[in-house]
Every structure is written in structure tokens, then in C-alpha cells.
Structure 1
Amino acid sequence: MALQEYAGAIVLEVDGKEVEVVDVSATIKTGRKLVKTMNKTGRAKGFARGISEYELSLTVVIPLSGDLDWLAVEGAKLTVYPNSPGGQRESYVDCFTTEVSDKYTVDNEARRDVKMNSLRKVTE
């Protein structure tokens, strides 16, 4: 059996500037909704198509200087690409920040949780 190679660490860029990221999570909602109808079978008959939503959750470290103004991020492009050759980049376009929170613990460095939404996703 041949060895399989998997995606490794990722690098995150915000508008061309590399950001030190601890964790990235992308949630894609399809926008589909269940359509309930009154019928004798007592079950739903199908679904309706809706608008897709892209939600991003980032955990970034807080640098002593040169930190991004995360509250002011609007219209940004976030590009996530694997740190191995041949991997495909994923870009989230027209991103805007919806929530920012700081987190401090005894054992780790100070971190910032950032929640963003994107208008579309592009695989490059």
C-alpha cells in the first residue's frame, strides 16, 4: 500500500500580510431549509434552496507591536494554504469581523479569538 500525504500546517494571510494563527475553523452553511407541509404521511416533502453563509473562527496570538486592528477588518481576503507543495489554496473573499475577544491563561501566551463572515469562498 502506498503512503498517503495529508495536508499539514496552514499559513493564513489577511490582505497579503501573514498572521500568526493558532487555530482556524471555517463553517459553511448551505442555506437549505426543510419545507414542512401538511400531508397524510406526516413528514416533510423536501427542501428550499437558500443563501450560503461562510463563518470563520480564528485564534491568533497577540503580538507586542504591529497587531492588526481586528475590529476594523472589512472587505479582507483570507487565504489559507497548506504548507506542502501541490496543495490547493482556499480564499475567503470580502471578509468582515463580527466579534473579537481576548483570552489570557496561566500556561499559554495571550490569544485573541476573532469571528468573521465571508461573502464567498474560492478554491485556487
Structure 2
Amino acid sequence: MALEEYAGAIVLEVDGQEVEVIDVNVTSKTGRKKVKTMNRTGRAKGFARGIEEHDLSLTVAIPLSGDLDWAAIEGAKLTLYPASQGGARESYLDCYTVEVGSKYSVDNEARRDIKMESLRKVTE
């Protein structure tokens, strides 16, 4: 069995400043919805296409040099870089903040939990 390579670094770019991301969860919704009709079979016959949505949950470390105003972020870019040179990058563009939280623990550094939404996804 051969070794496999996986995605590498995750970088959030806000106003030209790069922020290292500790953890990210991406949920993409296709926007498709079931169309229910009245028919003899008693089941749905198809679906309608809708608007695609991308929800992002990020965890970042709080730097000592000064924290960003996470609640005011609009138009940010989140890029997932592949570990290998041949892989394609995934970028989520026009990201804006929906929720901001803080997390403190005994063993780790202080962290921020940020929920964002993205208007589009691009594979580069």
C-alpha cells in the first residue's frame, strides 16, 4: 500500500494580512430542494436547483501582538493549500463573519472560534 498525501496549510487572508488557522470545518449546501407534487404514487418526482451556500467554522490562536476585530470582517479569503506541489488549492471568497467566540483552557493557548459564510468557492 502506497503512502498518500493530504491537504496542508490553511491560511485566512484579511485585508492583506495572513492569519494562521488552527482548525477549520467547511459545510457546503447545494441548494437543491425536493419538489413535492400531488400524484398517484405518493412520492416526490424531482428537485429544484437553488443557491449554493458555504458555512465555515474556524479556530485561530489569539496573538499577543494584537487581535483582529473578528466581528467586522467582510470580504475575506480562506485558502486551503495542498501539501504537494501538484494539488489544487481551494479558496472560499467574499467571507464574512457571523459569530465570534472565545475559548480558554489550561493546556492550550487562548483561541477564537469564528463562524463565517462564504459567497463562492473556487478550485485553483
TM-score, normalising length from structure 2? 0.89
Matched residue count: 123
Aligned match of 1:7: 6
- Residue pairs, 1:1-124, within 5 angstroms: 3-15=2-14, 16-124=16-124
Tell me which moved more, 62-71 or 89-98: 62-71
Instruction: Find runs of 4+ consecutive structure 1 residues off by over 6 angstroms.
Output: none
Distance across 2 between alignment mates of 1:84 and 1:68: 30
Tell me which moved more, 91-100 or 78-87: 78-87
Deviation at 1:4, TM superposition (A): 4.1
Deviation at 1:70, TM superposition (A): 1.0
Q: Which runs of 5+ in 2 are unaligned?
A: none
Distance across 2 between alignment mates of 1:115 and 1:21: 13
Q: Percent identity?
A: 70
TM-score, normalising length from structure 1? 0.89
Amino acid at match of 2:68: L
Tell me which moved more, 10-19 or 57-66: 10-19
Amino acid at match of 2:110: A
Structure with greater proportional strand content: 2
Answer whether contact 2:8 2:80 (CA < 8 A) is retained.
no
Deviation at 1:107, TM superposition (A): 2.2
Amino acid at match of 2:114: V
Secondary structure of the 1:119 match is: strand
Deviation at 1:9, TM superposition (A): 3.0
Distance across 2 between alignment mates of 1:74 and 1:31: 23
